[in-house]
Amino acid sequence: MHENQAEAVLKLIPLGGLGEIGLNMMVLEYGDTILLIDSGLMFPEDEMLGIDFVIPDFSYLLKNRDRVSALVLTHGHEDHIGAIPFLLREFHIPIYGTALTLALVREKLREHNLIEQSELIQVSPRQLIDVGPFRVEFIQVCHSIPDGVGLAIRTPAGTIIHSGDFKIDNTPVDGKKFDIARLGLYGEEGVLMLLSDSTNVEREGYTLSEKEVGITIREIFQQKRGRIIVAVFASNLHRIQQMINISREFGRKVLLNGKSMVTNVRIARELGYLDFTPFDEITIQELQSMPDDRVLMLTTGTQGEPMSALSRMAFNDHKKLKVKSGDTIILSSRFIPGNERTIQHIINHLCRNGADVIHEQVKDIHVSGHAYQEELKILINMVQPRFFVPIHGEYRHLVKHQRLAVSLGMPAQNCIVAEDGDVICLTADSAIVNDKVDTGRVLVDGKGVGDVGGLVLRDRRHLSEDGLVIASLVINKETHELLSGPDVFSRGFIHEESMPGIIQEAKSIILESLDRMVTEEPELDRAGLQDDIRRELKRYFNKILDRRPVIYPIIVEI
């Protein structure tokens, strides 16, 4: 044991995923070792204009760079692996994960030209690894992507169970069941703390088995004679396998559509996670000669993403694929909160093209990969932790999950509702939040990481809501005589030809500002003149139109 570890305290520090959906990242710290669990991204919220995605703030890790020892992964969804390329730019650490999870990570690192400097170590369920004072066992769980695991982490203070994203499915498509026996054994031995997925804590009962979706889909195949187009998450390989199986049964061939769909299916095929032969598949070229009743198309775009294959088909923007009368479109996913309006917009356009659209609000064509209340209760009762921390959810989910644990007999003081940045200090007898570290969200826009902050987003919102006015003039540097202009241009503010009087008055205001500045000051203060023009135009536009455009004066001295 390191000499400092005799006096060390076990700390848990969430850097993302507590108080939000996505951005999952947990720090376990003891002595000179920091172990990371997951490193995920989050997709931008509506007010994050132009942002591609969001990653956790690594500031705390950078301050403790020498102690960051390893990253362990629970599964291959973007909200758990999406930030890894950005993490590896700062830290050269081994990454442990199951076969499919690492294959998806490898594909991501290849896109970022990081594969050569990465150390990816494949593990299997029930395998043990040692990272400093931590001994980690990977425990098989069910989720909406294969190869998901929970974690049992033996620490000097006691055992911590991290559920990962999970559900309890007794009839999984791939036959790999939730490892109740292994978790039950840890419960018998004694668990210090349970960290458990809170995503579906508001839903009563049990999640349905993934196989239930197959029953509904088979009924649709029996009824329909035209092309069937299924939009599904490209990571939901169990759902994709069921679609392939049912297609074989009804003599349909499968066309893959969308970059992530093609990539994920290729990876799953190579690893043996999909039974999908070349005989089952057709190309876009072969589609043209294939009878409609022999076609199944698997596509991306379940959430109405603007550049997804389904969206481009709905708006007739796809170069090679068109939606036509007689097509049946199945949106085999839930409407993620916040996306409802976009998805309904897509549905309307698909219907306008003559398609019959089936979604979860009219038929049971989706089941969740996250545990409902009764499954969450089973996990708590099985593990019997001394302390409990709900993870993976918005704040209301965490509070609801904490109350659920209390309803099962856990002492309220032992159930901690933590947020990102909270430092949870653990001993064999206590668990308290006694500090907070710097954390937050880093915005990624194109190749820029963290260079877009609150002020830039505020300007983008301002531009999107009120438009831009550019005022330009050229003056003599020596005499301050006006040589050209003033010219006034606007974008997203008014249609200049329909309101020439407003533009003309704006020019007069600029001239008045110039005359006033030249009269009052022997030396022209260009910055002062810009501020005066900005202030006077702002006052004028607000008075006349009750609008507040971004005003950008350009003064050129020659």
If phi over 0 gives left and psi between -120 and 50 gives alpha, with beta otherwise, what is residue 307? alpha
As beta bridge partners, residue 37 has 26, 72
What secondary structure letter does DSSP report for 300?
A: S
Cα 325 versus chain centre, distance: 34
Question: Phi and psi dihedrals of 409, rounded to 5?
Answer: 105, 0
Question: Could you give the CA distance from residue 366 to residue 213 in angstroms, rounded to a whole number?
Answer: 6
Question: Could you give the CA distance from residue 72 to residue 136 in angstroms, rounded to a whole number?
Answer: 9
- Count the neighbouring beta carbons within 10 Å of the beta carbon of residue 100: 23
Would you state the structure tokens that stand for residue 412, as one six-digit string?
Answer: 């309220």
What secondary structure letter does DSSP report for 413?
A: G
Contact call for residues 275 and 242 (beta carbons, < 8 A): no
Measured between its terminal Cα atoms, the distance across the chain in Å is 72
Cα 487 versus chain centre, distance: 44
Cα 59 versus chain centre, distance: 20
Cis omega (within 30 of 0) for bond into 94: no
Would you please indicate which residues are annotated as catalytic (active-site) residues? Answer: 197, 370
Residues near 448 by beta carbon (within 8 Å), at least 6 away in sequence: none
DSSP 246-258: HHHHTT-EEEEES
Question: Could you give the CA distance from residue 285 to residue 404 in angstroms, rounded to a whole number?
Answer: 54
Contact call for residues 203 and 372 (beta carbons, < 8 A): yes
Contact call for residues 198 and 392 (beta carbons, < 8 A): yes
Question: Could you give the CA distance from residue 441 to residue 327 in angstroms, rounded to a whole number?
Answer: 42
Question: Could you give the CA distance from residue 123 to residue 73 in angstroms, rounded to a whole number?
Answer: 10
